[in-house]
Amino acid sequence: MMTTRQPHQPKPKAIIFDLLTALLDSWSIWDASTPTGTSLEGRKWRKQYLEVTFGSTVYGPGSTYEELVARSAAESGLPTSAPEALLRNWTDLKAWPEVGRVLRELRGKGYLLGVVTNCSKELGHAAVRSAERAAEEEGEGKWKFDAAVTAEETGWYKPAVQAYHGILPLLGEDVRPEDVLFVAGSAGDVVGATKAGFRVVWNNHVGLERKGDVLPLREGKSLDEALADFL
């Protein structure tokens, strides 16, 4: 775990999450979608996918989510069957084990909770439901995020500032960047969300390498470890 010293700041009004890395174990279905079904191919592809998506800016023809998934597979030396399998396997996405409990704890403390994801509208909201179901399994009744927005809906991929700020109107007129804590899943999110004016913690579940000199408030290997100061 790594923390950085920060001056006292007021409690955030909203906690916004990266989806496919901070909340969900997308690494497992990337592995399962490769010809060997192993992390040897899956990790290489997944890391290339992060480079490709965070290296893009505008969402549109030629740079849709599905196209970037296919491009990163080809650049990793994988056949077209790999991205095709990933899309078939999409509903197999599962949350990290602690996610449901932590989301319910945060809701109980009064935070607004949201998701910003570099994904298409259809796949992104399907993945959001995977995280919501994890929270439902920890209690009774339906559980939903206060807001969720995809790259397709904002027209921007993270780390563009517009991608992060696209969720703010959905959370209410009084929520400003300085009112937000962002839970990053990748190193690119640590940098991007900081530039967007958010406070940032990092759920570095799989031990990704840091990028640049920007540090999160706290880095942990689980969601509750990353959010220890807010639970």
The pLDDT of 174-201, averaged and rounded, is: 97
Q: List helix spans (H) across the chain.
A: 26-32, 39-54, 65-75, 81-88, 99-108, 121-136, 151-154, 161-165, 168-171, 187-195, 223-226
215 SS3 class: coil
Q: How confident is the model at residue 8 (pLDDT cuts 50, 70, 90)?
A: low
Contact 93, 24 (CB under 8 A): yes
Mean pLDDT of 30-50: 95
Contact between 123 and 89 under an 8 Å Cβ cutoff? The reply is: no
**What is the reported pTM?**
0.94
pLDDT tens across 75-119, in order?
Answer: 999 999 999 999 999 999 999 999 999 999 999 999 999 999 999
- When pLDDT is cut at 50, 70 and 90, the band that residue 3 belongs to is low
Residue whose structure tokens are 């009064």: 110
SS3 196: coil
Sheet holding 218-220, edge to edge: 2-3, 218-220, 199-203, 180-184, 14-17, 112-117, 147-150
Q: Contact 49/211 with Cβ under 8 angstroms?
A: no
pLDDT at residue 5, as a whole number: 44
The pLDDT tens digits of the residues spanning 173-187 come to 899 999 999 999 999
State the pLDDT at residue 165. Answer: 98
Report the half-sphere exposure of 25 (CA within 13 A, side-chain side): 17
Residue 84 contacts residue 73 (beta carbons within 8 Å): no
